[in-house]
Amino acid sequence: MNVSESTRDRMQVDLELALYAEGTKKQYLRCADIFVGHYMRPPSELGETEVRCFLLHLQKVQRLGPSRLKTYVAALRFLYTKTLRRPEVVETLPWPRIPKSLPEILSGSEVEQVLGAISSLRHRTILSAAYGAGLRIGEACRLGCSDIDSARMVLRVRKGKRGKDRYTMLSKRLLVLLREYWKAARPPADPLFPGGGAGGVVTSNAVRDALRRALASLNITKRITPHVFRHSFATHLLEGGADLRTVQLVLGHSSILTTARYTHLSKAHIANTASPLDRLGTEEGKALG
């Protein structure tokens, strides 16, 4: 049993008005369908007890991890708060605690190795944009010719997270690759990477599949996803001397605290920070008391 058509339609409209990404909208609607199917009753007839029992079932019986469980919590919060206007049902739901693990970061030589192993020029160009400009994979897939400003050497990122636009740098090497791809593919002006996905662009899954095929031929043990290229971009920027504010702007982070986590991933940042042990017995060490 799915969410009733009227409720589902309203939830979909609410998600669109809130400018959620296409993938997030699909996830939330799917979670709502599974919740309703679990009880075989409309969500308007269900309350806090049913929501909590359902989440406990997912955790204890289906053994969902905290990340997937968090998606269900977010979906049900949206359903009851925004669509059904019953915030009291979910207002006390706790957010699952997700272990804070550091993402994988590629070295420069590993980035070159992985990109060189991707046979498709289209997919190699998309992943080069993810690394060269710090794009999310969906942002890279949606690039258009009109987003490339070679005069100012910037890329316009349209409809980023929460529907926000921003500008990021356009590297000379990426510009050469984009021109090479355009000459070979001759796509229409927009989108640059046409396909059968939402909005007529190549899908993120197609890029992930191409990346998996390339990794199968390499001797790299790191768990590499398209998003790793964005993480590596930010970390390498910091190691190259860029300030946090600049990195925040090109990544499109709302809070600089989100950007600051990349200082924990930068070997240069860590190596250039003196240990207090080295200050003992020196003039600087007197400040330690």
Query: Which sequence positions are flagged as catalytic?
Result: 136, 161, 227, 230, 253, 262
Residues 6+ apart with CB under 8 A from 16: 25
Q: Are strands 148-149 and 154-157 parallel, antiparallel or unpaired?
A: antiparallel
Phi-psi region of 85 (alpha: psi -120 to 50; beta: other; left: phi over 0): left
> How many other CB atoms are there within 10 angstroms of residue 259's CB atom?
21
Phi, psi for 63 (deg, rounded to 5): 55, 45
Separation between Cα atoms, residue 56 and residue 120, nearest integer Å: 44
DSSP SS3 for 154: strand
HSE, side-chain direction, 13 A CA sphere, residue 11 = 27
The residues that bridge with 149 in the sheet, in sequence order, are 154
Structure token digits, residue 180:
């090479």
Q: What DSSP state is assigned to residue 218?
A: S
Q: Are 136 and 230 in contact (CB under 8 A)?
A: yes
Contact by Cβ (8 Å): 131, 211:
no
Angstrom CA distances, 283 to 257, 274, 275, 289, stand at 33, 14, 15, 11
